[in-house]
């Protein structure tokens, strides 16, 4: 299979990269939020990164399947590069957050001495 290069290649690569970023954005908080809250919920945050990458890969796979044979590299390159970059970004954010735990943006449970809002009575 010979690769074909020509008009529109850059645009299609960019579309699939943007698609991967959009899918990850739809399923995750930002890497900054991941870093800030890693100590409290790193596993949950990374679960959603993995699910986002799988969803993005589904769309990229569809793109590869419907592209002409010489152009199938375009969705694979755009989506694949975006997935790798995003994965590295979130892993770095998680690891950084676990190493240097700063103040989180979330709180869990009622303040000390306070009653939970959902508690009756």
Q: 35-57 burial, b for 16+ CB within 10 Å, e for fewer?
A: bbbbeeebeebbebbeebbebbb
Nearest CA to 28 out of 60, 68, 56 is that of 56
pLDDT tens for 67-103 read 999 999 999 999 999 999 999 999 999 999 999 866 7
**N- to C-terminal Cα separation, the chain:** 72
pTM of this prediction exceeds 0.85 = no
Instruction: Sketch the domain layout of the chain as residue ranges.
Output: 9-99
d(CA 35, CA 11): 32
Residue 2: its pLDDT value, please?
62
């Amino acid at each position: 299979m010979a690769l074909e290069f020509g008009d529109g290649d850059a645009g299609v690569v960019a579309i699939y990269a943007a698609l991967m970023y959009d899918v990850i954005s739809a399923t995750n908080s930002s890497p900054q939020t991941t870093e800030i809250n890693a100590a409290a919920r790193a596993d949950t945050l990374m679960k959603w990164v993995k699910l986002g990458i799988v969803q993005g890969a589904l769309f990229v796979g569809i793109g590869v399947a419907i592209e002409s044979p010489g152009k199938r590299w375009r969705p694979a390159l755009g989506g694949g590069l975006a997935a790798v970059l995003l994965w590295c970004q979130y892993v770095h954010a998680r690891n950084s957050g676990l190493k240097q735990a700063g103040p989180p943006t979330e709180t869990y449970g009622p303040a000390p001495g306070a009653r939970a809002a959902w508690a009756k009575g």
